Amino acid sequence: MGFTDRATSALGKRVLIHIAWFLILVALIAGLVFLIVHAIYVRYFAKAKEFATEPASEGTSALPARIPRHSLTARLFHWIMAAAMFVLLFTAFLPKLGVQFNWVTYHWIAGTVLTISILFHLVHASFYLDFWSIWPDRSDIEDARRRFQRFLGKPTEQPRKFAKYPLENKLYHGVVMLSGLAVIVTGICMMFRVRTIFFPRNPYLFSDMTWGMTYALHGLAGVGLITLTIVHVYFAIRPEKLPITASMIVGSMSREFYLQEHDPKRWVIEGLPHHGSAVDGD
């Protein structure tokens, strides 16, 4: 059993046509195994979360009761992108699992919505949000090392509280960004193979081999997004993460939650007079 499906081209050559569809089940099972193992680990084995106790920052008493976390624009982007992602996953994979319907039209329309929303997000995040808040920094790496030492039971300094996004969220964003980019770039090429409103069909744009690799990359990144989406939804509904999930709906989180998990020096909020202005985030 190979990881790809091949067919004989008009020239009599065996060419790659797409990934083997059993990988859909592999991706589903990988997501489910991750969440079962993680839930058991947190429930029975993980030590209580501990952070280095820093002296309380001056001015935290001036913080508002609700800490703004996601602007309305950032929330709208998130939910439009999420809706497009679900439509893409279901229209792509249900037919492969035997549910037949006219999926291609819904699929490229959702693909167009995803592409436009990501283009918007690139501009919004570069010019209106704190662009660097989602990329790992030196403190994240040091704290990850400390947390790993703690996990091994070795004595070490305690990790600091998080900036706006913990390292795990930053790494997740990086992987989703790469898979998203792969499905978008290949998906736009694949729109030349089907009838859309954008450009005339041109199945001769690429050679058979190049089309095969384009379809295989689209499928591989696509099944990866199954696992990534399961993991994302799992964390969103874990009880200790609900305040974060709620903030993606209402836009803010409580001051208590913010002070418990985040370092006001690493994630600066408006309302602390000596810290300068706030930065928005997605």
Q: What residue has token string 């930065």? A: 279
* For ligand HEM, the closer CB: 89 or 272: 89
Q: Helices marked H in the chain — which ranges?
A: 22-40, 72-93, 103-127, 138-151, 167-190, 208-237, 242-250, 255-261
Contacts of 121 (CB under 8 A, 6+ apart): 77, 81, 282
Q: Does 87 bind ligand HEM (CB under 6 A)?
A: no
Q: What is the DSSP letter of 204?
A: T
Q: How far is the CB of 168 from ligand HEM (least distance, A)?
A: 21
Which of 94, 188, 236, 278 is in the footprint of ligand HEM by CB under 6 A? Answer: 188
Q: Does 176 bind ligand HEM (CB under 6 A)?
A: no
Q: Does 108 bind ligand HEM (CB under 6 A)?
A: yes
Q: What is the DSSP letter of 43?
A: I
Q: How far is the CB of 87 from ligand HEM (least distance, A)?
A: 9
Q: Does 89 bind ligand HEM (CB under 6 A)?
A: yes
Contacts of 187 (CB under 8 A, 6+ apart): 108, 111, 115, 218
Q: Helices marked H in 128-192 — which ranges?
A: 138-151, 167-190
Question: Which residue number places its CB atom closest to ligand HEM?
Answer: 187
Question: Which of the ranges 30-38, 68-76, 132-140, 181-189 carries the binding residues for ligand HEM, by CB under 6 A?
Answer: 181-189
Nearest to 183 by CA among 89, 47, 52, 61: 89
Q: Does 16 bind ligand HEM (CB under 6 A)?
A: no
Q: How far is the CB of 54 from ligand HEM (least distance, A)?
A: 41
Nearest to 7 by CA among 274, 180, 240, 215: 215
Cα separation, 87 vs 3, in Å, equals: 25
Q: How far is the CB of 44 from ligand HEM (least distance, A)?
A: 34
Q: How many residues bind ligand HEM (CB under 6 A)?
A: 24
Q: Does 161 bind ligand HEM (CB under 6 A)?
A: no
Reading the block at residue 156, the tokens are 């070490």
Q: Is the separation of the CB atoms in 230 and 35 below 8 Å? A: yes
Q: How far is the CB of 167 from ligand HEM (least distance, A)?
A: 25
Q: How far is the CB of 7 from ligand HEM (least distance, A)?
A: 11
By the criterion CB under 6 A, which residues form the site for ligand HEM?
18, 85, 88-89, 92, 104, 107-108, 111, 114-115, 183-184, 187-188, 190-191, 193-194, 215, 218-219, 222, 225
